[in-house]
Amino acid sequence: MSNSAPTPNRSPQPLFVTTRWSVVLAAQDKSSPNSEAALETLCRAYWYPLYAYVRGSGRSPHDAQDLTQEFFARLLALDWLRVVLPEKGRFRTFLIVSMKRFLTNEWHRDTAQKRGAGNQPLSLDTVAAEHRFASEPPLAPDELYERRWAMTLLEESLERLEGEFTRSGRETEFNALKEWLITERGSIPYGEIAKTLGTTEGAARVAVHRLRKQFRQSFRQTIAEKVEAANDVDVEMRHLVAVLSRS
């Protein structure tokens, strides 16, 4: 009889992997060399919803650019993460709460000439931002921020999915199917799609169904990178879907 102890069963791998936002939160003590780069990456991708919030609050394009740049300069330079409270679980909430505090302080200070001091940590394409803002619906600033945040996540999810198809040599298939991602199933022209792809209508149905499923997974993954814990993902996803449904 063998004297060796039985090998214990391996515990299942967690479904929720470490994300950029959780890395930032875990590095509040500056012990991680990756925290600053992670925060800058997130800010660079998600600055426009904040810019839209500032513009929607009645600031001019010049002031909105000035204030948004200064906000990120301070966010990246100062230990603002140390005062993050319950809102720390969602990057979306952390940013808007921080911006509101920043604007409240700026409102009472005559620092128009001092803002920025030539320090522009992020390259903001404010010309393109103004074109986007001109087409925004007439919403309250908070609603506008929420809508743009949700739309930005959708755009990132679509880009992520497109990259997967491109790397696998299926870019043509993606381009033929992508416009049907959020269309009502009853109005999808499977026959036309089949002709475009050179396949059967049944195969086209399967391809559209598969792509829609992959897009939901990509959207979920994108959301997971902006929250701290696994149980936040479903809550955030429901919130963002509700925001989009009201748009």
Q: pLDDT class for 218, splitting at 50, 70, 90?
A: very high
Q: pLDDT class for 159, splitting at 50, 70, 90?
A: very high
Q: Are residues 169 and 231 in the same domain?
A: yes
d(CA 212, CA 224): 18
What is the Cα Rg of the chain in Å?
A: 22
Domain boundary residue, one of 94, 109, 136: 136
Q: Residue 9 domain-assigned?
A: no
Number of CB atoms found within 10 A of residue 54's CB: 24
Q: What is the pTM assigned to this prediction?
A: 0.78
Q: Are residues 45 and 147 in the same domain?
A: no
- Tens of pLDDT, residue by residue over 2-42, are 444 433 343 333 333 456 787 777 766 666 777 778 888 88
Q: What is the DSSP letter of 136?
A: S
Are 151 and 164 within 8 A, CB to CB? no
Please give the pLDDT value at position 5: 40
Q: Residue 1 domain-assigned?
A: no
Average pLDDT over residues 159-163: 95
Please give the pLDDT value at position 139: 92
Average pLDDT over residues 214-230: 90
Q: Are residues 144 and 232 in the same domain?
A: yes
Average pLDDT over residues 158-166: 95
Are 151 and 70 within 8 A, CB to CB? no
Domain that holds residue 216: 137-247
